[in-house]
Amino acid sequence: MSLVVVSVSASTLRSNKRERRTLVGLILVLVPLLTACTVTEPTPPAPTGLVTYPLPEDWVGMAGLKVGTLAFVDNCLRFDDGDIPVFPDKLTTWDGTTLTFAGEEYRMGDEISLGGGSPVEGATVSIPIPKSCGNGIIIIVSPPSRAEG
């Protein structure tokens, strides 16, 4: 094995030292800028498709009964026959796959029995009924009777 000797002048060493200082300075400037540009995942929007109405404090149940199969069609939670349920907002959640109504969970394709009736004149819904829901019969879903709840 042979030894190689490299001759380095003092000016070359000073030049390398200057380059290292410049590089370190550049890193010290860039690192805070790069960390300030971190990417955070956006919060996903709340699932849509559930239509609700504001449940009044003095609610009473309606006598009609709707039995049907839940479906999610054209971004609309409805019955497979096209009827559109409008649920009481305080008793209903929807995460995009599971409907929870009055403490019971339902998935698409499940059969559900709901009390309710047609909307009365001047009734409002919390979320407007999307046009994509179609022209099915609107059913204002009644909360369970107070004896049940």
pLDDT at residue 49 in the model: 83
Residue 68: name the closest of 147, 136, 145 by CA: 136
Residue 111's pLDDT band (cuts 50, 70, 90) = very high
User: Could you report the per-residue pLDDT of 4-55, keeping only the tens digit for each?
Assistant: 444 545 555 455 666 666 655 545 554 454 444 445 555 545 557 888 888 8
DSSP label at 109? T
Q: What is the mean pLDDT of the chain?
A: 75
Backbone angles phi, psi at 15, to 5 degrees: -65, -45
Based on its alpha-carbon atoms, the radius of gyration of the chain, rounded to whole angstroms, reads 32
What is the number of helices (H) and of strands (E) in the chain?
1, 9
Q: Strand pairing partners for 52? A: 87
Alpha helices (runs of H) in 2-144, residue ranges in sequence order: 10-36
pTM over 0.85: no
pLDDT for the residue 58: 73
> Coil, strand, or helix at residue 57?
coil
pLDDT per residue over 67-84, tens digit each? 999 999 998 999 999 999
Decide if 125 contacts 52 (C-beta within 8 A). yes
Please name the amino acid found at residue 147: A
Give the list of residues 6+ apart from residue 68 with CB closer than 8 angstroms, or none: 79, 80, 81, 83, 111, 112
Q: From 102, 96, 92, select the one nearest 54 (Cα to Cα).
A: 92
